[in-house]
Amino acid sequence: MELAMGLEQSKQKFIWVLREADRVDIFTGEARKRVFPEGFEERVKGVGLLVREWAPQPEILAHSSTGGFMSHCGWNSCIESITMGVPIAAWPMHSDQPKNSFLVTEILKIGLFVREWEKREDLVSASTIENVVRKLMASEEGDAIRKRAEELGEAVRFSTEKGGASRMELDSFIA
């Protein structure tokens, strides 16, 4: 409910993927019920797109109109986002995600925390989500973060092309 309200209040365009697999808590096995504010889907038409199953994350991240990615910061998602030059609104939940989100926000400075790991028991309010999304997408700080993410993405992609450092290391390993 808070996520839906925060996205709506941010007035920023979004794609929200609601996978069937996410209907159960992976730790407790308890069913999760999706509850949206009344009229939410109708109000966000033209601004938000709700995808009710799997979506091609790498292709979405590679699209030129993708300006940010709200993620739990699993390693694969971080690598995909970094490679595509897309900044991250980091919302770690478990496992490697707290360290990855720290890397993204504090070291690489290509993202913002939605909620820091130390506050993982706290409810993330709609206003917090709204503020993070707006800061990432429509502020000078967000502009700088997006610029750093784009520059890092270009460097990563270059390093994997022929003649790039990563490509040469891989070729050397295989040889």
Decide if 108 contacts 85 (C-beta within 8 A).
Answer: no
Q: What pLDDT score was predicted for residue 21?
A: 60
Q: What pLDDT score was predicted for residue 29?
A: 72
Assigned CATH topology for domain 2-174 = Rossmann fold (3.40.50)
In residues, how long is the chain?
A: 175
H-type helices in the chain, by residue range?
2-10, 40-43, 57-62, 75-84, 97-102, 126-137, 140-160, 165-174
Mean pLDDT in residue range 104-120: 95
* pLDDT for 52 beyond 90: no
Task: Please give the torsion angle defined by the CA atoms of residues 125, 31, 19 and 68, in that order, rounded to the nearest 10 degrees.
Answer: 20
Mean pLDDT in residue range 132-150: 98
Decide if 114 contacts 89 (C-beta within 8 A).
Answer: yes
d(CA 9, CA 169): 47
- More confident of the two residues 21 and 9: 9
